[in-house]
Structure formats: structure tokens, C-alpha cells
Amino acid sequence: MRKLLAAAFAAALCASPAFGQDKQAPAKTAPTAEQQKRTDECTRQARDRNLQGRERNQFMSACMRGDQPKSK
């Protein structure tokens, strides 16, 4: 009886991780044409201004949100 109980418990332990997994991760959607156009425009502006590092990151964040970045 103990062996049967131990086997049942071991089987339940082995099977439990399978039930806890997600069915399938959602697929990432491709960027829209509008988003890609905005990315390209912001990148071009950052390159024209010779921005690097933190300044570039701040500029890109503001530009992608649609805020008017400060002119240099």
C-alpha cells in the first residue's frame, strides 16, 4: 500500500509542472508602417544632431511619444 501511495505521489509531482505552463506565448506583432516611419524619422533626426548616449535615448523617447524634442 505504501509503494502504491508513493508511486501515485511521485506521478502527481512529475505531472504538476506541465499543468502550470502557459498554453503558448502570444506572438509579437510586426511594427506598423506608421510606427516604422516614425522610428526612421526619429533616428534620422538623432543622427543629424549627432546625439549619443543618454541624450540620444532621451531624444528618441520623446520623439517616439510624439513630443516635440528641444532643438539644438
CA–CA dist 32, 69 (Å, integer): 23
**Residue 30: per-residue pLDDT:** 76
Amino acid symbol at 12: A
Q: How high is the pLDDT of residue 16?
A: 60
CA angle 58, 66, 70 (to 5 degrees): 50
Longest pairwise C-alpha distance within the chain: 81
When pLDDT is cut at 50, 70 and 90, the band that residue 69 belongs to is low
Q: Could you give the angle at which helices 53-65 and 33-48 cross, rounded to 10 degrees?
A: 140
The reported pTM is: 0.53
User: Residue 16 corresponds to which amino acid?
Assistant: S
pLDDT digits 0-9 by tens, 19-68: 656 667 667 777 788 999 999 999 999 999 999 999 999 999 999 998 87
- The cell for 36 is 516604422
Check: CB of residue 51 under 8 Å from CB of residue 59: yes
